[in-house]
Structure 1
């Protein structure tokens, strides 16, 4: 099921992550689930075989792992539903053999829009002893005669073969219905091409079919930019087939920046090796990653993995936006909206898009017409557009259009001809019996088995040249939160300035509210000194702006190592967009989500507090305050193996923390070796001093400002020889500065975020940035913003105004 019936890596990653967490809770360590998978071929099979799971504990374990898996990424697949229904009516039985439990199977089928009665389901259950693949007993429950088994696990395939069941290893690029068609001998498997070979064959047909009048008009439009800088964005660039076409159309003497976007990162890398380096003799740029320079002209090519629509918002306005064969594969309305919002006045060149007609022309047309009779219906089932000409008005002002039909015969384009026929045959399985489809495919061949010479495949395509409406000169705007006077917050809409040298523009997604600090700032003002010596939060008078936990993506960059689209953490006040120096921006590691990354500044503070606390092995630590910083500090110290107690009057906050970290205690006492105060309460600081052992250390993590604080510093304090240690995060403490740097501590913070995953237990509550005045009004009244599920709760702005 997972990886065969559907292919959504995020769902599969969620399963593995939850399985790892559940296995770790059984005491097997963070890598226990991987060790069991390697040794048994299935984590749960390993848990059962080694006795970690048994009896009544198995079903709750399955529920704990699978019930919370997020299936939002799965969408209904109407064509697959029709194919399964047609196969069932044609006496072909499809079995679903999965290691997932039945409730999860039902959820997946419902998400995909598939009726469970169309499949015979075999999965672990109490009735079969929770047996999993690759256990041989699992395969005994499956048919052997006239059967074929598909699985994306090579270990499961080998086990099936050993059990006497013919099996096929499914790759990520395989369509399972294509494999079914192979098994039923509907279409020869040798007719299918790999993705790269298909694109190469398609490129030959595309370049031969491009509308000459539209290409001529494109060159005419671009001639007005002679001698200027020209930026070209190629959406769905694939193997860079359009690069040579665009280079021929560009005026001489222009400096060109060509950005190629595709979801398939590996395909782009292959294109760089095979086309840029070999065909164009391009050389990799010394300081810009994924960028190549052409030797005979001022052209730089940048490869940018990503989504075609999403990337439009991350790049500056382009001279030309290109997309070959992309319009019939994309949400055209979403593309149109993104173009109008972010690429006003750009030229548009969209060649080779499907115009709604595919037909085999042959004297034997009656035999082969079945393959295309319902072709458009099958495309519509998959969400593809079959007549893009209907969307021209939404794209922009039409400058020129022209026919770019494919006329494919068995002599000139045999490989592409067979690939398309194979694709059509598989789609036709949703509407016709497999025997009838097989006969139609057979009609494409001569008696000798070769492709018949009298069959021609005609696909009507169109080329489009247009311009996005609007003006590209309007200054971009942003929304910022401003503390205008004591207790008063307002939203400021303003022009977004262009980045300077070594600066970037970041489109914010999240900006976390530091409740305690921001409440004090809003009540007392910024003070007379900058709050942070590193990132120059230097406003010292009203009005001023605050915030330092912003996460987003780079949309414009004057920094060579930060390309547009890069996810970053930014030390910047709350705003929809940030213009920040390189020193205030941190790349987010690929394996850390935006939701976890928003805790970087707080995690660095927790690291600084833990380093200042510096408990010895065997010593006890008390953390006073279970807000975000206190909870993270307690978690870091507990993760390092120290005995930790958390003290906070908000019992719900403590309970939430203890649920995640049962090794932490909440019992108050007076014999702690180290006390860390992060509550912002003078009373808590006094309790910390009184609770510390003789000779112990109290670390002050709260910022009290200029207000006087009353502390118990009488005879008992003097006799205790307790040290008060001020802690701050903007610099490395002098005692550690010979070994530690800020970068080393940030690396530590990322690793602890990766290990502790704070978003999973510090409840994030999102509010739109437009609600900032209301949020701070509650903050002033109550001391903290109330959350529906109880603290600890981290409130976070969704930073786009329309979020």
Structure 2
């Protein structure tokens, strides 16, 4: 379904955006695009990425009411369960705005939309050496960076990452650069071994994973994975919980030896800068760090498919019902010309 509106004299024409309009229902809608004002930029999208975990929760109308406000994306329109315009991995080119921004390739935490107007303070410049398509991963790398600031790994630590999906893989990739004694990426799917090999990280099935870990970072979004984390972490060790279960309940064996071993489970959520860096880093600092890390071509392994913008409603449904498997599926917009900066 497409809703068209004639542009007014104070608009920059029209834009087309993806909206979730009901449980397992999405559509492209056309809307007026306001002309950029002082301190604002008009961005033409090149690519956007589908953050499968969170976006499937939105697609299936499973955002709990108690966190609906907290889960709103920076430039979201509408509200949960819908209609809502949601998404946050967009890369484009500035076509109008302040002189110093025009022509720059930028990342923005914006929903899937072909053209949009935002304050320039919402933009992160994509640096030289980072292809625009790869830059859609900026928001996910930012999530991984925040988790490591939460975890605070130390020299010689033994660390396990449970769940070799997009977020878990990102965390493991960043941890591979730390001087750890041991790092394992753990998943029940043996096919993930090749992915771990690409990242340069040791792979393990949960049954074979090494215990007595100083830190376990849990990313599998499963009760079984979190239970395994409790078994793998060493005495007085810490579990960093990165999974979001939305409206699902999780039961854990917090009797047994949980108290005797003085274990800790701590949440990591990218909405605010991790406490350990909150007084010295801004969200803009964190995004600039994240996009700079994407110069490493190994991050291409996280981009597992591309579709055209007009195919987006069907792509989201296929991701939801499992007929399309992906880490980060990329949406390509019309007239995209890739430039390796």
Q: TM-score, normalised by structure 2?
A: 0.86
2:12 aligned with 1:478, yes or no? Answer: no
- Cα pair distance change 1:753/1:761, threshold 3 Å: same
2:88 touches 2:109 (CA, 8 Å); kept in 1? yes
Which among 17, 27, 43 is matched to residue 490 of structure 1?
Answer: 27
2:51 aligned with 1:511, yes or no? Answer: no
Instruction: Give, in whole Å, the separation in 1 of the partners of 2:320 and 2:203.
Output: 31
- Cα pair distance change 1:772/1:531, threshold 3 Å: farther
Equivalence for 1:711: 252
**Superposition pairs for residues 73-222 of structure 1, below 5 Å?**
none
Instruction: Give, in whole Å, the separation in 2 of the partners of 1:648 and 1:536.
Output: 34
Instruction: Give, in whole Å, the separation in 2 of the partners of 1:611 and 1:473.
Output: 44
**Superposition pairs for residues 627-646 of structure 1, below 5 Å?**
627-642=165-180, 643-646=182-185
1:695 touches 1:720 (CA, 8 Å); kept in 2? yes
2:111 aligned with 1:573, yes or no? Answer: yes
1:571 CA displacement: 0.7
2:183 aligned with 1:649, yes or no? Answer: no
- Which protein, 1 or 2, shows the higher relative CO under an 8 Å CA cutoff with sep ≥ 6? 2
Q: Look up the SS of the partner of 1:551 in the other structure.
A: strand
1:509 touches 1:799 (CA, 8 Å); kept in 2? yes
Instruction: Give, in whole Å, the separation in 2 of the partners of 1:648 and 1:539.
Output: 36
1:493 CA displacement: 2.0
Q: How many residues align?
A: 322
2:160 aligned with 1:622, yes or no? Answer: yes
1:534 CA displacement: 8.5
Q: Look up the SS of the partner of 1:599 in the other structure.
A: helix
2:75 touches 2:109 (CA, 8 Å); kept in 1? no
Which among 553, 562, 579 is matched to residue 101 of structure 2?
Answer: 562
The structure with more strand, counted as a fraction of residues: 2
Which among 79, 87, 92 is matched to residue 540 of structure 1?
Answer: 79
1:636 CA displacement: 0.3
Equivalence for 1:609: 147
- Cα pair distance change 1:525/1:757, threshold 3 Å: same
1:533 touches 1:731 (CA, 8 Å); kept in 2? no
Instruction: Give, in whole Å, the separation in 2 of the partners of 1:798 and 1:500.
Output: 27
- Cα pair distance change 1:475/1:736, threshold 3 Å: closer
1:768 touches 1:801 (CA, 8 Å); kept in 2? no
Which among 771, 786, 791 is matched to residue 325 of structure 2?
Answer: 786
Residues 390-410 of structure 1: per-residue CA shift (max 9 Å, x gap) = xxxxxxxxxxxxxxxxxxxxx
Which among 326, 332, 339 is matched to residue 798 of structure 1?
Answer: 332
Q: TM-score, normalised by structure 1?
A: 0.38
Instruction: Give, in whole Å, the separation in 2 of the partners of 1:602 and 1:802.
Output: 22
- Cα pair distance change 1:487/1:673, threshold 3 Å: same
Instruction: Give, in whole Å, the separation in 2 of the partners of 1:551 and 1:531.
Output: 24
Whichever of the two has the greater Rg, that structure is 1
1:658 touches 1:664 (CA, 8 Å); kept in 2? yes
Which among 751, 773, 796 is matched to residue 292 of structure 2?
Answer: 751
1:758 CA displacement: 4.1
Root-mean-square deviation over aligned CA pairs: 2.5
Q: Look up the SS of the partner of 1:734 in the other structure.
A: coil
The structure with more helix, counted as a fraction of residues: 1
Instruction: Give, in whole Å, the separation in 1 of the partners of 2:330 and 2:47.
Output: 6
Instruction: Give, in whole Å, the separation in 2 of the partners of 1:586 and 1:802.
Output: 19
Instruction: Give, in whole Å, the separation in 1 of the partners of 2:288 and 2:10.
Output: 40
Q: Which runs of 5+ in 2 are unaligned?
A: 1-8
Equivalence for 1:687: 228
Equivalence for 1:584: 122
Residues 322-352 of structure 1: per-residue CA shift (max 9 Å, x gap) = xxxxxxxxxxxxxxxxxxxxxxxxxxxxxxx
